[in-house]
Amino acid sequence: MASTLTFSPNDIPDLTGKVALVTGANVGIGLETAYFLASHNATVYLACRSEPRALAAIDILQSRLKAAKVDAKVYYHSFDLGSIKTAKASADDFLAKENRLDILVANAGVLGNQWTPEWEYEPMFYTNHLGHFVFVTTLLPLMEKTAAMTGDVRIISTTSKALFMTSPTIDYDSLVNRPKDADEPRRVSQFPNAMKVYGQSKLANLYFAKELDRRYREKGIWANAPHPGWVGGTELGLTEVADMFGFFTGRLAAWLTNTFAMSTVDGASTQTYLAVSPKVPELGIHGEYVMPRNNWFWRYQGPQVVKLDAAYQKEEEWSKLWEWSEEIVRKELAK
């Protein structure tokens, strides 16, 4: 199956009538994903934490859509993963304003954030996983209702190959016990651990998709976890990595990424494929880790489903994450 998957924007079906929401859609991979969806006539919500940045992104999308002769249906939705309460409130607001949700791309993410005293939990894990957990699970009844009408709802939990930089078992103690050196000035020797911690949050994105799939597949909800590839032209970790490496090395790393990595259009392709392709239900692609297939020159050739080791296929790890996250959400919402 893996080698035969292909993706071209021309393969995207007409999405008229479908409602999509992309988190972190004001820039990078999320912005291109929103364009792919809106340019095929979906109503697209850009779920973003900064209203000015989201409105600027909508302006860009609208002019591109106008040039493509598409009637733009793109809207800002206020969304902040920085606290469980704001993420929940954002989902509740969405439930109050829409009566269907066909495609949810949980794309927003951070890399390299320091565990400063205001964080009670490790900040990358909190933002990348816990915020999305409460947001997505609050929206599940609406997606179930939509799936009952259409039989085809997609949830995309954007992950990263960085998940392989950590153990396949989530270290829950590390998420609640602030390390002693957390307040020390940033330095390059912190980078490997930052990648490990980021990897753990991305492992959670994978296990969340797997558990969603296990619980909701029979209801017509297709959940998958794409790795977009190594993508340039985004803002991921730019400030945080520059802080660790120093200004010049940080700029050099950004230049190398922007020059040699995949474009944001190619980076958005794998998650768009999972969000819209009729091949997903046809081929039974669910609960999978999917990544780009590139040629020798790093050019995108299409998506590939990766068969993960048995260490990543333990249902007890997926459901443990779900139950642990539910408990944290319960505690935080009760405060």
Ligand X SMILES: NC(=O)c1ccc[n+]([C@@H]2O[C@H](COP(=O)([O-])OP(=O)(O)OC[C@H]3O[C@@H](n4cnc5c(N)ncnc54)[C@H](OP(=O)(O)O)[C@@H]3O)[C@@H](O)[C@H]2O)c1
C-beta of 273: minimal distance to ligand X in Å? 15
205: which residues sit within 8 A by CB, 6+ positions away?
106, 128, 129, 132, 157, 158, 159, 160, 163, 225
Q: Is 198 noted as a catalytic residue in this protein?
A: yes
* Residues 174, 200 contacting (CB under 8 angstroms): yes
| Comparison of 41 and 159: residue with beta carbon closer to ligand X | 159
Q: How many CB atoms lie within 10 A of CB 82?
A: 15
**Residue whose CB is nearest to ligand X in the complex, by number:** 28
- Distance of closest approach, residue 126 Cβ to ligand X, in angstroms: 9
Q: From the candidates 198, 207, 273, 300, which is the catalytic residue? A: 198
Task: Report long-range pairs for 83-87 (Cβ below 8 Å, ≥24 apart).
Answer: 83/131, 83/332, 84/130, 84/131, 84/134, 84/328, 84/329, 84/332, 84/333, 85/332, 85/333, 87/131, 87/132, 87/134, 87/135
Q: Smallest gap, in angstroms, from Cβ of residue 282 to ligand X?
A: 26
Task: Give residues in contact with ligand X (CB under 6 A).
Answer: 24, 26-30, 48-50, 53, 79-82, 107-110, 127, 158, 160, 227-228, 230-231, 234-236
Shortest CB 257 distance to ligand X, Å? 7
Identify which of residues 148 and 256 has a Cβ nearer to ligand X in the complex.
Answer: 256
Nearer to ligand X, 25 or 153 (CB): 25
Whose Cβ is closer to ligand X: residue 161's or residue 214's? Answer: 161
Eight-state DSSP code of residue 185: P
Closest CA to 97 of 14, 15, 19: 19
- Catalytic residues, which ones? 198
